[in-house]
Amino acid sequence: MTTLLPMATPDLAWAVTRNDAAKPVAERDAILADPGFGKHFTDHMVDICWSERGGWHRPRVQPYGPITLDPAASVLHYGQEIFEGLKAYRHADGSIWSFRPDANARRLQRSAKRLALPELPEQYFIEALRQLIAIDGDWVPSAPETSLYLRPFMFAKEAFLGVRPAHKVAFYVIASPAGAYFHGGVKPVSIWLSTEYSRAGKGGTGAAKTGGNYAASLVAQAEAAEHGCAQVLFLDSVEGKWLEELGGMNVVLVYKDGTLVTPKSDSILEGITRDSILQLAEDRGHRVERRQVSIDEWREGAASGDIVEAFACGTAAVVTPIGMIKAADFEIGSPDAVAGELTMSLRAELTDIQYGRRPDPHGWMLRLDA
Ligand SMILES: *Cc1c(COP(=O)(O)O)cnc(C)c1O
């Protein structure tokens, strides 16, 4: 059955088709009890079409399921694709909230510009999240540190093998319940320093959230795993000297005087988690520096005791302490390093805001279910 619902933006009316084969409550509850990450998906998905002639049109909520694509769809050949990642959090009173979704909407627009895709208006992005939560809100888990991960994405679906920006594009949102990232407490991870591979180059797509950057990181990530590391750290592609970021997380160093330093570069993805953590640190009176920082500075600073903590940050794992860096010919830190004190207290402050356990001084939270 399809019904038309009015939408906050007057020019788009949403068509909602309920999933007749939605998961029974018992099955959903079993998934929510142990969701893992990115393995299970809710009963519905959202999509909005774009064409060069018609602009954004036909917003829909429909049953979750396979997408039919022409084999010549340009995304399958030239990778014209971007995505976002954010979470819906259940608060103690049952309400459902997201964290700075306007920042995700704007970042999707920046990614779109770089990948020659159309910019989705911010209000359509937010409305898409609300529509999905309106129908799949019961999929937001309530156990501590769990959430519903929301994955908006956009791709070129025009059937055309010529090389130019596609004239037909689709925007989707899917959702996947996520368990606590760390079982049995947050533990420091070991990180492999890739010297052979770069994730992005000067003038490339490093600052856009696009699948190609991830594709480029996978062999390095596999190399990290071979060395017993959870993640890979990339350096700049020109000098092989300056810190950039991990495959999907930003990196921050903490100095003994309380200063936080994070790499500045045109080829890293500007994380919303990092921006928020650094804001919270500034609120506490810490100095924050966004500047070039070399792997040698980290090595020497860790050896001299000037650099006392390091962490990675991103939506999925929030904040992950870095225990050690392993490179082909040196190591920083040690495998049994303990999580840094400031790292853990900033992590706690951020998650307390996200889960509604503490006031939200910057107005970062947006309610999705009302
Ligand atoms: C998404 C992403 C991040 C983290 O961004 P958040 O907004 O904090 O989730 C960092 N690096 C890369 C490459 C990413 O794709």
Residues with CB under 6 Å of ligand 1 are 85, 209, 213, 245, 248-250, 269, 271-274, 314-315
Amino acid code (one letter) for 124: Y
Q: Which CATH class is domain 189-354?
A: alpha beta
Write down the domain spans for the chain. Answer: 2-180, 189-354
Ligand 1: nearest atom to the Cα of 84 = 1
Ligand 1: nearest atom to the Cα of 107 = 7
Q: Distance between CA atoms of 206 and 215, rounded to whole angstroms?
A: 12
- Which residue puts its alpha carbon closest to atom 10 of ligand 1? 249
Helices 101-114/122-136 angle, 10° precision: 120
Query: Could you tell me the pTM of the whole model?
Result: 0.95
Q: In a mutational test of the pocket of ligand 1, which residue from 99, 100, 209, 280 has the highest number of ligand atoms less than 8 Å from its CB?
A: 209
* CATH no. for 2-180: 3.30.470.10
For residue 367, the cross-strand partners are 97
DSSP-derived secondary structure for 214-235: HHHHHHHHHHHHHTT-SEEEEE
2-180 and 189-354 share one fold: no
Q: Judge contact between 257 and 301, C-beta under 8 A.
A: no
Tokens read off for 29: 């509850």
Q: pLDDT in tens for each of the 370 residues of the chain?
A: 455 554 444 567 999 999 999 999 999 999 999 999 999 999 999 999 999 999 999 999 999 999 999 999 999 999 999 999 999 999 999 999 999 999 999 999 999 999 999 999 999 999 999 999 999 999 999 999 999 999 999 999 999 999 999 999 999 999 999 998 777 778 999 999 999 999 999 999 999 999 999 999 999 999 999 999 999 999 999 999 999 999 899 999 999 999 999 999 999 999 999 999 999 999 999 999 999 999 999 999 999 999 999 999 999 999 999 999 999 999 999 988 999 999 999 999 999 999 999 999 999 999 999 8
DSSP-derived secondary structure for 152-205: EEEEE--B--SSS--SEEEEEEEEEEE--SSTTS---EEEEEESS--S--TTSS
Distance 155 CA to ligand 1 centre (A): 19
